[in-house]
Structure 1
Amino acid sequence: MGQTKSQFSDDELQDYQDLTYFSKKEVLHAHKKFKALAPEKVGHNKNAKLPVAKILQYPELSVNPFGERICEVFSSSHDGDCTFEDFLDMMSVFSEGAPKSVKAEHAFRIFDFDGDDMLGVSDLKKVINKLTGEHKLNDNEINMLIENILEEADFDDDGSLSFAEFEHITDKSSDFLNAFRIRL
């Protein structure tokens, strides 16, 4: 562990602790996990950027249907590649210590595929298709499901969900916090 610690100054560790929901020890543990994805690259360069394919080797991301999209949302570059700081931010938001409101904000961004700050029909179709995986629903079933979602949560009847409407859904969901979690 001494080798991992030596890559960061005490000030850097303090900054990471201040900017995340992690302790200094957890930051070092996150770096160890990040480094394990590409030791040849990260071992000598704490600022290394890993391609999405490497990040998706992280066990809980590899089985997550939104793994690529999560990387895109948390990446500081447009290609989805991640620096340690991107990875740390991702792990922090998915940690148990992150508040529900922060998790809801990031879940909304992950589901907002077209980036228009609304969850429209096309976004909801993509979410449903990712969630159903190989057990795809037919178009009629998808349209009925979207209709039910909008009937339940689209309070202003504009045919899409705003962040406020989405947050209302997450507030009512008893398992949202458990579902939106990745262990370090």
Structure 2
Amino acid sequence: MGSQQSAVAELTADILNEYAELTYLNKAEIIELFKNWIDIMELVNNRDPVFAARIPFDIIASFYLQLQHNPFKDRLCKVFSTGMDGCFSFEDLLDLFSVMSHACPNNVKANWAFHIFDFDEDNGVGVEDIMEIAHRLTTGHCDNYPDFQLDDNTKRSIAQTLLSQLDLESSGKISVLAFAHGIGKMANFGSLFSFRV
């Protein structure tokens, strides 16, 4: 416990103020995430300096229920890992929780959601991306029907319907601007694309 207290002391008032200015998190949320970060570092016996440590995302995800059961967990790792190495720094963790914060504006959330849903990373959400989204959102997640799955024809039909409404450039893909525009029409997007510290 003493090592946690000394590590928490590294989160100076200046650093805390800077993180509060650069994220959509309040100071209490930042402190809570920092304490969790120290606990995770101790769990894996990581002796790196607190702000230089990189921890495998799977270990971090096991620490948070909202990540453990997220059908897009792998994409959250890919998009928010600045080292693109399957690991997170403390600042990567802050970025993720900042975007998923209820205080984050919908236009910022929409931009990050676009990158999460662009599975093939071709700067457009196309048919295959939408089919993958539908698959992840439905497979095994229906309590009354645990084996429920959409067949490929249904997923493709959903994708074509979305593209017909959102592919403003007729490119066969939804651009980031069209995606943000479409998301802007969803009144509850901000609350659905959120979780708490």
- Length-normalised TM-score, structure 2: 0.85
Correspondence for 1:145? 158
Q: How does 1:81-100 map onto structure 2 within 5 Å?
A: 81-100=87-106
Distance in 1 (alpha carbons) for counterparts of 2:53 and 2:7: 14
Note the residue ranges of structure 2 that are not aligned, 5 or more in a row. Answer: 141-147
Note the residue ranges of structure 1 that are not aligned, 5 or more in a row. Answer: none
Query: 2:60 is matched with which residue: 55, 64, 74?
Result: 55
* Cα shift at 1:75: 0.5
Correspondence for 2:173? 160
Correspondence for 1:179? 192
Q: How does 1:69-148 map onto structure 2 within 5 Å?
A: 69-134=75-140, 135-148=148-161
- Contact preservation (8 Å) 2:139, 2:150: no
- Contact preservation (8 Å) 1:4, 1:28: no
Distance in 1 (alpha carbons) for counterparts of 2:97 and 2:59: 15
Distance in 2 (alpha carbons) for counterparts of 1:180 and 1:4: 31
- Contact preservation (8 Å) 1:129, 1:137: yes
Query: 2:74 is matched with which residue: 68, 78, 101?
Result: 68
% identical equivalent positions: 34
* Cα shift at 1:3: 4.5
Alignment-mate amino acid for residue 74 of structure 2 = E
Report the number of matched residues: 184
What SS does the aligned partner of 1:56 have?
Answer: helix
Distance in 2 (alpha carbons) for counterparts of 1:95 and 1:43: 29
Answering whether residue 49 of structure 2 is matched by residue 36 of structure 1, we say no
Correspondence for 1:23? 26
Distance in 1 (alpha carbons) for counterparts of 2:28 and 2:169: 46
Q: CA RMSD in A?
A: 1.9
Q: 1:142 to 1:102 in 2, by over 3 A?
A: same
- The Cα offsets for residues 32-91 of structure 1, whole Å up to 9 and x where unpaired, read as 233333433468741321112112211101111001211111111112210111001110
- Length-normalised TM-score, structure 1: 0.91
